[in-house]
Structure 1
Amino acid sequence: MNHKNTEIQEFLAELRHLQIKLWIEDERLRYNAPQGTMTPELLQQIKEKKTEIIAFLKQVNSKTVKSIQPVPRNQELPLSFAQRRLWFIEKTGLSGNAYNMPLTLHLVGKLDLVALQKSLDEIVARHETLRTNFAEINGTPVQVIRPPFELELPQQDLSGLAKSQQTTQLQQCLQTENEKQFNLEVDPPIRVLLLQLGATEHILQVTLHHIASDGWSLTVFAQELSANYTAAVEHQPSTAPELPIQYADFAVWQQEYLQGESLQTELDYWKEKLKELPQLQLPTDYPRPVVETFNGASQSFNLPPLLTSKLKQVSQEQGATLFMTLLAGFKVLLHRYTAQESIAVGVPIANRNRREIEGLIGFFVNSLVMYTDLGGEASFTEVLKRVRQTSLEAY
């Protein structure tokens, strides 16, 4: 691959991390981006690289495997590889509610319950994943798609409580709801709960199981609920375009694509990359429990604008993306704490690399293991080069 193609590939990799999608339609470059991610600076870069991007995408498309097509439903429908992995974990009975995905929506204004119910039911009818159960036939897990149904919408009225009591009770209700487990063989992988805080204030708690959703899916769900509700209160039909495929179609396509030489190539790469990988020996304050508890927390912080600007400058100078530079810095930090030279970090990717699946609710997210050898008294610049190389290979 020549230098110009490598530069474009790196730029597209950075856009993928921002969940920005580019494609060619009628010989024109189109894009789709989550709200707030397409900055004027990024848009200008896309315009400047437009010719090279189109040429690169055409080159890639010429080698692209066949498109995903709908398949008949009168056959056994396999699970995707991601679903099979999660199904196996669920069958051990050790995951508890770890794979529940809560979506908490704050509704302000007079609520039309009939319109809300209709809006939820339309989403369930639109996305087969939300009405899919799982079973085993001769030891092989399969998807069992149910016909559309009316989603139960339980309600709790907290409006009569004092503010402090209401806040406490609200948190307890949300926690209790999230702790409930799904029986994937019987229950639909979606639950909802409506909590009334006042005459014009409600909390809608939507809980999805990860086997039927991911972070991207939560955004799709919220956007469709808003559009459906707006249409319902105005007594208008839903304007959502028909989905070209469903998740089960993707699962069948994936099974057909990842076999033989394609599968072996992927396996050979990862086996070589991850062989004899040592466990990271972080100096934690408590030993790792024998049975995983899934207890944890998140820590959020903002980098100062000046530091962010300098990081972007370093990235540009080294031909890397900002993600690669931050990952290199994180790996150096892990090396400092452990003195280990072989460092692997799991990185989630949206994995929505085909237009047919961008509007689907389903489990597409994947984790890539980014391995880097920090040996040889490498400088940070050298570490960044190694991280950059691994990132390009992994994608």
Structure 2
Amino acid sequence: LPVQDGEAWQHVLDTASAEPVLSEISVGGALLAERVTAEAARPFAVESETPLRAVLFTAEPDPVEPETERPETADAEFADAEAGAPVRQTLLLVLHHIAADEWSLPPLLDDLAAAYAARLGGVAPHLPHLPVDHIDLTLWQREVVAAHEDVDAEYWRTRMSGAPEQLTLPWARPRPARTGGPARTHDFGIDAELHQRVRALARRTRTTTFMVLHAAFAATLSQLGCGDDLVIGTPVAGRDDVALRDSVGFLINT
């Protein structure tokens, strides 16, 4: 995604140019987790780098002080290392969110596992052919949007008229004029009893579990001072057509 006049634009590469490079790094076993975490957190240079990178880490046995006794298992590991056999290898795949979404991970990992198993068996992998590619999806979306663009735009202009641009939450500090830096998430769980109560409420109101939780979230924001006019964005998979289930790409919408 090169940047021109302050705007990013999509540069479509041919297949050969877009193929990711597999880097190989040898690292001491004690530092493996640290190096993997650092490489996973390294930002992409999206203007010059493809949005997928692969790194194969080979963990080398850490040196043992002469006066320290090591168990027989450690001796075996050193013997394997001296014989040229890797002690442990870790393959790291880092995929930028502009190129894939969460629903892309299962088919991607399935293909990787199938290819790995095939290579172990000494044969070339034969992956299933996708019924629809991204070009087909793009053309289909363009046709659908063009057919209803004016009506849809007018609907959302009316629907969103007067909606607040920001939530009026009691922030701990002033909101910056321009946000930057890494985003944060907050994960939490609900216990089994509460989950059953939510499902029971959804059945009584002929809604879904998501709609009940969404309403609870909106009510919480309102109680915190956001008023009754709220705008809450929720990502959707965008894979209603079964032909898109195994596609790897950024198909989600909000």
TM score, norm. by length of structure 1: 0.52
Larger Rg: 2
Count of residue pairs the alignment pairs up: 228
1:134 aligns with 2:18: no
- Cross-structure match for 1:173: 39
- Cross-structure match for 1:238: 125
1:359 aligns with 2:246: yes
Q: Is the 8 A contact 2:25 2:57 kept in 1?
A: yes
What SS is found at the alignment partner of 1:366?
A: coil
Cα distance 1:197–1:299, how it changes in 2: closer, same or farther (>3 A)?
farther
1:345-356 alignment runs, 5 A limit? 345-356=232-243
Q: 1:280-318 CA deviation, whole Å, 9 max, x = no partner? A: 111111211222114332222221111111111111111
**1:363: how far off?**
1.6
Q: Which has more strand, going by share of residues?
A: 1
Distance 1:166 1:200 in 2: 12
Distance 1:306 1:92 in 2: 55
**1:180: how far off?**
3.1
Distance 2:135 2:56 in 1: 30
Distance 1:289 1:171 in 2: 29
Gaps of 5+ in 2: 61-85
Identity rate, percent: 24
**1:148: how far off?**
7.2
Distance 1:166 1:203 in 2: 9
Distance 2:5 2:212 in 1: 38
- Cross-structure match for 1:204: 91
Distance 1:349 1:200 in 2: 42
- Cross-structure match for 2:52: 190
**1:334: how far off?**
0.2
1:320 aligns with 2:207: yes
What SS is found at the alignment partner of 1:212?
A: coil
Q: Is the 8 A contact 1:192 1:204 kept in 2?
A: yes
Letter in 2 for 1:197: A
**1:151: how far off?**
3.4
What SS is found at the alignment partner of 1:303?
A: coil
Letter in 2 for 1:354: D
1:153 aligns with 2:22: yes
Q: Is the 8 A contact 1:195 1:203 kept in 2?
A: yes
Cα distance 1:149–1:274, how it changes in 2: closer, same or farther (>3 A)?
closer
Letter in 2 for 1:189: P
- Cross-structure match for 2:135: 248
Q: Is the 8 A contact 1:217 1:360 kept in 2?
A: yes
Q: Is the 8 A contact 2:238 2:251 kept in 1?
A: yes
Q: 1:330-380 CA deviation, whole Å, 9 max, x = no partner? A: 00000011151101110000000112222211221011xxxxxxxxxxxxx
Gaps of 5+ in 1: 1-86, 96-132, 136-142, 368-395
**1:320: how far off?**
0.9
**1:94: how far off?**
9.4
Cα distance 1:322–1:267, how it changes in 2: closer, same or farther (>3 A)?
same
- Cross-structure match for 2:68: none
